[in-house]
């Protein structure tokens, strides 16, 4: 492990030691960004979420819509808005940490939303199976959120064979999702 990676690994441990919320604030300071009030996300964090979701929910399948086409970001934000403030605050901190993470981890040392799609994909590749449990946990949390926004869009259901309309147990009033 090179020194930078060691420092990054140490950074994750530090984040756990000082707490996720403080870690998020620290990341915002490094990025020279304002940190949101409790229960809120700021536009720069929403851009981070979008940057992550376009990679995490990317598809090369012509039948599946892109996250942008199906409104996955709006759905994710709506899902988040339905959550209690402390839960939103944890997600807010995670987004700040993700936005700042390339500055520490590289290989291109710019903020996450400044990376192009291929660079973001490459950056995220190591997270799901990282040696560091904290890094895996952070990715899992973000992935869960992004997937919830994407795969709950009805336009993604046809290609995977999921169907509510033909389910005889679902009341008619629910067969045309709002």
Partner 1 sequence: MSTEPMVAVQPTQRMSLGADVVIIGLGAGGGMVFHDLVGAGFDVIGLELGRHFTTQDMTAQEDVMMPQLFSEGGGRATDDFGISVLQGKGVGGSTLHNTNLCKRLPEELLDDWVVRFGLTDLAGKGLQDDFEAVEKLLNVHPVPDEQLNRNNVLVAQGIKALGYQGGRLSHNRGHLCRQSGFCELGCPNDGKENAERTLIRPAIAKSGRVYSEARVEKILMHRGEAVGVSGVCVDPRTGATIGEFKVQAKHVVLAGSATGSAALVKKSDVPDPYRLAGTNLHLHPGAIVAGVFAEPVEAWLGIPQAIECTQFLEFGPTAKNRAWIVSGFAHPGAAAGFMPGFGAEHAKLMREYRNTAVLITMLHDHTSGVVSPGEREQIHISYRLDKSDYDQLALGMRESARILLAAGAQRVFVPTRPARWVTRAADLDAITGSVLGPLNPSLTAVHPMSTLWMGDNRRKSVVNPEGMHHHVKNLWVADGSLFPTSIGGPPQIPIYTFARRVARAIAAAQ
Per-residue buried b or exposed e for 21-41, using 16+ beta carbons within 10 Å of the residue's own CB? bebbbbbbeebebebbeeeeb
Answer whether 64's CB lies under 8 Å from 159's CB. yes
d(CA 115, CA 60): 20
Which residue of 85, 106, 109, 165 would you call a contact of partner 1, by CB under 8 A? 85
Kindly state the tokens that stand for 130. Answer: 């990282």
Shortest CB 108 distance to partner 1, Å: 19
Shortest CB 62 distance to partner 1, Å: 11
Binding mask 87-126 for partner 1 (x = CB under 8 A): x--xx-----------------------------x--x--
Which residue of 28, 49, 55, 96 would you call a contact of partner 1, by CB under 8 A? 55
Binding mask 134-173 for partner 1 (x = CB under 8 A): x-xxx-xx-xx--xxxxxx---xx-xxxx-x--xxxxx--
Which residue of 58, 103, 108, 114 would you call a contact of partner 1, by CB under 8 A? 58
Binding mask 26-45 for partner 1 (x = CB under 8 A): -------------x------
Q: CB-wise, 42 or 147, nearer to partner 1?
A: 147
Summarize as ranges the residues that interact with partner 1 (CB under 8 A): 16, 39, 55-61, 64, 75, 78-79, 81-87, 90-91, 121, 124, 128-129, 133-134, 136-138, 140-141, 143-144, 147-152, 156-157, 159-162, 164, 167-171, 174, 177
């Amino acid at each position: 492990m090179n020194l930078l990676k060691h420092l990054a690994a140490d950074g994750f441990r530090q984040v756990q030691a000082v707490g996720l919320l403080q870690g998020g604030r620290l990341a915002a300071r490094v990025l020279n960004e304002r940190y949101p009030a409790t229960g809120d996300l700021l536009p720069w964090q929403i851009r981070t979420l979008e940057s992550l979701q376009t990679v995490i929910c990317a598809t090369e399948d012509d039948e599946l819509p892109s996250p942008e086409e199906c409104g996955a970001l709006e759905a994710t934000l709506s899902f988040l808005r339905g959550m209690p403030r402390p839960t939103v605050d944890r997600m807010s901190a995670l987004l700040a940490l993700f936005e700042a993470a390339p500055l520490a981890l590289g290989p291109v040392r710019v903020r996450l939303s400044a990376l192009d799609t291929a660079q973001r994909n490459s950056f995220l590749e190591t997270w799901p199976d990282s040696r560091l449990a904290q890094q895996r946990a952070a990715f899992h949390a973000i992935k869960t959120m992004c997937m919830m926004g994407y795969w709950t869009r009805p336009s993604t259901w046809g290609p995977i064979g999921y169907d509510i309309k033909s389910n005889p147990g679902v009341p008619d009033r629910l067969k045309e999702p709002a």
